[in-house]
């Protein structure tokens, strides 16, 4: 298959490209920068298209020339960056998403896979959160992702675009995103390996839902590959594990027993994280296309530490 990944040189995009290339897909990475966040041997077998996702004319030209079967639309400005740069967030997350859907419609790209977020729900009292719970996000990032979901479903019903969305919890990775309230879940590993010490801005008992990036990548590919007849909805949710800060510290200490941990809770950030439900109903993902995460907390810890250590 011919596949385009927007945000293709980012943390998720560069990791998604590798298994697609290995299985024989022709992958083009669209990004504003030429170098990938994570360089893999498979990167050398990808095409790279330099473009701004908000430039609809340029994107349309790339999609027309590439004759793509599928588009993984990962390009987005994340939570903290979106709050600091709302105009840029609007251009990337809103205009960019509309441009992708319009290019897919005009040039008959067979499928669009869209990464959304559980932040679209906002504060919820139900645990687990039902997949069809009302979405009242409290961040600009969450609001743009709700809009992206709704626009994609519109393009499906109005124009027949095979739109498929996936709401992710916080994704942990070596050198993963460290911005926003959820950024600590990757930062803690980086500090543990490189500094031998980590200070949580959370209370020891505060929990947050996370998944390892390889599980997220596997889920995106599984949703992409699922036959249309198996799908019961257009947008799915993933859950994961929800370790507390002290459980994450204990897991790291099993691998790196000399690391020192301290806790200095930030009232604002701890309140945000503490408001998140621990679980989200992902039963439809499991039933329709076989979602089944492989990484528990200790497996995540080993994989992330190994990834950071190998890059030294």
Compute φ and ψ for 260, nearest 5 degrees. -105, 130
- CA–CA separation, 133 and 119 (whole Å): 12
- CA–CA separation, 92 and 89 (whole Å): 5
Element (H, E) at 171: strand 170-172
Neighbours of 77 (CB within 10 A): 22
Among 47, 157, 163, 35, CA closest to 97: 163
**Cα 81 versus chain centre, distance:** 15
Instruction: Name the catalytic one among 121, 141, 155, 212.
Output: 141
**Cα 64 versus chain centre, distance:** 26
The encoded tokens of residue 235 equal 């947008």
Active site residue 141: yes
- Tokens 């960056």 label which residue? 81
- CA–CA separation, 190 and 214 (whole Å): 18
Among 306, 298, 213, CA closest to 248: 298
Most distant pair of Cα atoms in the chain: their distance: 58
Write out the catalytic residue numbers.
141
């Amino acid at each position: 298959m011919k596949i385009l990944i927007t945000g293709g040189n980012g943390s998720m995009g560069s990791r998604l490209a590798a298994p697609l290339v290995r299985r024989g897909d022709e992958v083009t990475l669209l990004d504003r920068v030429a170098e990938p966040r994570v360089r893999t041997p498979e990167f050398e077998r990808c095409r790279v298209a330099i473009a701004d996702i908000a430039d609809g004319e340029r994107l349309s030209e790339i999609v027309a020339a590439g004759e793509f079967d599928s588009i993984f639309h990962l390009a987005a400005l994340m939570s903290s960056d979106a709050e600091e740069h709302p105009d840029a967030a609007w251009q990337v997350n809103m205009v960019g998403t509309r441009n992708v859907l319009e290019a897919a419609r005009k040039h008959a790209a067979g499928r669009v896979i869209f990464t959304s977020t559980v932040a679209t729900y906002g504060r919820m009292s139900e645990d687990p959160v039902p997949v069809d719970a009302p979405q009242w996000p409290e961040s600009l990032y969450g609001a743009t992702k709700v809009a992206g979901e709704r626009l994609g479903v519109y393009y499906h019903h109005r124009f027949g675009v095979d739109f498929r969305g996936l709401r992710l919890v916080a994704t942990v990775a070596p050198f993963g995103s460290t911005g926003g309230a959820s950024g600590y879940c990757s930062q803690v590993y980086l500090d543990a390996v490189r500094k031998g010490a980590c200070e949580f801005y959370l209370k020891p008992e505060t929990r947050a839902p996370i998944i390892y990036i390889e599980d997220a990548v596997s889920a995106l590919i599984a949703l992409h590959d699922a036959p249309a007849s198996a799908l019961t909805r257009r947008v799915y949710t993933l859950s994961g594990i929800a370790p507390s800060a002290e459980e994450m510290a204990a897991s790291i200490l099993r691998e790196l027993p000399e690391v020192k941990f301290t806790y200095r809770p930030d009232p604002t950030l701890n309140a945000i994280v503490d408001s998140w439900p621990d679980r989200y109903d992902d039963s439809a993902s499991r039933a329709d296309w076989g979602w089944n995460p492989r990484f528990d907390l200790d497996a995540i810890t080993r994989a992330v530490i190994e990834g950071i250590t190998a890059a030294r």
